[in-house]
């Protein structure tokens, strides 16, 4: 049994029809959205790049989205004292709602399909899918690493719920929960929050990883991720921390100045497949990792954290759930920008040894 009770799940609609789902740890009251909102965005487009065999989302409406509003105009704070936000209730624990400025939206229309011009070189289709915002807390001035373990456990339940719901939506092929933290990496709102993308395709990074995993399996009969985890555990020089069910390590060929992968010891395709003990332990292991990262420099670390799950349909048996956190900050105040080689060629040049980063993170207990 889990050491934490399951949160109460309440679904409602915002004034423009977008869904909001609350995950309540306490008995909370939720109010109707009284705002007068413009029509919601109902369409985006994806275009196929035949040179990379990759889909690119074209969501030009995102140009107008909210950029770093003052704290008293934060759209993710609860609605209080007559100020109406994206969350119509006076208080909440964890709240998830459909993004007002989505990269993907709507369900697949069988009549629409792909439209190809120029002999198939210009292929486009509707950018169906779903983009959601996950608010981790009603407290504007905290961050994920400072949340109590019970709250992180509720966030994990919210991620699991959304993985199941979005994965069941027509046209969604991959569900990716992630968090961008820090204005240095393009965060447009300070309130502690993450996002979830339900993509209408398997994203390029996942596709490439899973093809490698499939090839390894054909060659060896074993799972590539499981082999890598075992090799990192055996080597030990890049292991950051280890709990009963999870191991965090800096990968052998880390691309980023700070990069840590967190793997469960049991191969599962996605978050819903974790048992209660693994979910409880994930809350502890992830907080421990974020705490170490926070103490790395004498200033908050900007980072991107992502949960890598199996696609909805493809590669289910080859995939291995894991979390990745990386930062572009190579020393206090110094950011690694994606320079010519990385942005032009996708060839990463790192100026730190992964073993040195792991040793520093190990000490920061």
Tell me how far, at minimum, the Cβ of 186 lies from Zn ion, in Å.
18
| Binding map of Zn ion across residues 177-216, x = CB under 5 A, - = no contact | --------------x-------------------------
Tell which one of 77, 196, 293, 319 touches Zn ion (CB under 5 A): 77
114: burial class by Cβ within 10 Å (0-12, 13-18, 19+)?
A: exposed
| From candidates 76, 158, 213, 328, binder to Zn ion by CB under 5 A | 76
Return d(Cα 181, Cα 185) in angstroms, integer. Answer: 7
Does 135 sit near Zn ion (CB under 5 A)? Answer: no
Contacts of 362 (CB under 8 A, 6+ apart): 239, 240, 241
Which of residues 20, 57, 74, 105 is near Zn ion by CB under 5 A?
A: 74
Q: Pick the closer one to Zn ion by CB: 139 or 227.
A: 139
C-alpha triplet 217, 354, 144: angle, nearest 5° = 90
Residues 90-109 touching Zn ion, rule: CB under 5 A, are: none
Which is closer to Zn ion, CB of 79 or CB of 309?
79
Q: What is the DSSP string of 57-84?
A: EE-GGGGGS--S--GGG-TTSB-BTTB-
Whichever of 146 and 314 has its CB closer to Zn ion, that residue is 146
Please tell me the distance from the alpha carbon of residue 123 to that of residue 290, in angstroms, as a whole number. Answer: 41
State the nearest-atom distance from the C-beta of 141 to Zn ion, in Å.
8
Respond yes or no: is residue 30 known to be catalytic.
Answer: no
DSSP 87: B
How far is Cα 131 from Cα 169, in angstroms, rounded to an integer?
12
List, in sequence order, every beta strand (DSSP E) within 15-147.
19-24, 45-49, 54-58, 94-98, 115-117, 122-126, 130-135
Instruction: In angstroms, give the least distance from the CB of 52 to Zn ion.
Output: 38
Kindly state whether residue 134 participates in binding Zn ion, applying the rule CB under 5 A: no
Residue 131 lies near Zn ion (rule: CB under 5 A): no
Shortest Å distance, C-beta 349 to Zn ion: 38
Three-state DSSP class for 98? strand
For the beta carbon of residue 70, count every other beta carbon within 10 angstroms: 7
Of residues 4, 174, 191, 193, which has the active-site annotation?
193
| Residue ranges that bind Zn ion, judged by CB under 5 A | 74, 76-77, 140, 191
Catalytic positions, written as ranges: 193
């Amino acid at each position: 049994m889990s050491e934490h009770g399951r949160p109460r799940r309440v679904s409602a609609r915002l004034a423009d029809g977008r869904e909001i789902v609350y995950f309540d740890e306490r008995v909370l009251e939720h109010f109707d959205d009284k705002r007068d909102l413009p029509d919601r965005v109902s369409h985006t487009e994806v275009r196929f790049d035949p040179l990379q065999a990759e889909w690119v989302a074209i969501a030009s409406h995102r140009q107008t989205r909210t950029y770093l509003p003052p704290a008293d105009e934060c759209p993710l704070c609860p609605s209080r004292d007559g100020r109406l936000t994206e969350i119509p209730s006076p208080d909440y624990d964890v709240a998830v709602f459909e993004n007002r400025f989505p990269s993907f939206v709507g369900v697949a229309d069988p009549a629409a399909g792909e439209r190809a011009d120029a002999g198939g070189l210009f292929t486009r289709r509707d950018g169906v899918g779903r983009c959601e915002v996950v608010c981790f807390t009603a407290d504007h001035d905290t961050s994920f690493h400072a949340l109590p373990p019970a709250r992180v456990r509720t966030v994990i339940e919210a991620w699991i719920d959304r993985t199941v719901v979005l994965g069941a939506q027509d046209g969604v092929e991959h569900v990716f929960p992630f968090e961008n933290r820090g204005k240095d990496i393009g965060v447009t709102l300070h309130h502690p929050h993450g996002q979830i993308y339900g993509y209408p395709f398997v994203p390029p990074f996942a596709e490439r990883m899973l093809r490698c995993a499939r090839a390894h399996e054909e060659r060896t009969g074993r799972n590539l991720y499981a082999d890598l985890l075992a090799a990192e555990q055996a080597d030990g020089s890049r292991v950051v921390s280890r709990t009963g069910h999870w191991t965090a390590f800096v990968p052998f060929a880390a691309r980023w100045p700070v990069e840590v992968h967190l793997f469960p010891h049991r191969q599962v395709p996605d978050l819903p497949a974790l048992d209660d003990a693994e979910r409880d332990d994930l809350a502890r292991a992830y907080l421990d990792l974020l705490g170490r990262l926070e103490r790395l420099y004498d200033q908050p670390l900007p980072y991107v954290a992502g949960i890598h799950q199996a696609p909805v349909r493809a590669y289910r048996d080859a995939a291995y759930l894991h979390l990745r956190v990386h930062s572009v900050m190579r020393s206090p105040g110094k950011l690694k920008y994606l320079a010519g080689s990385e942005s032009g060629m996708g060839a990463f040049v790192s100026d730190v040894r992964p073993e040195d980063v792991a040793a520093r993170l190990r000490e920061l207990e």
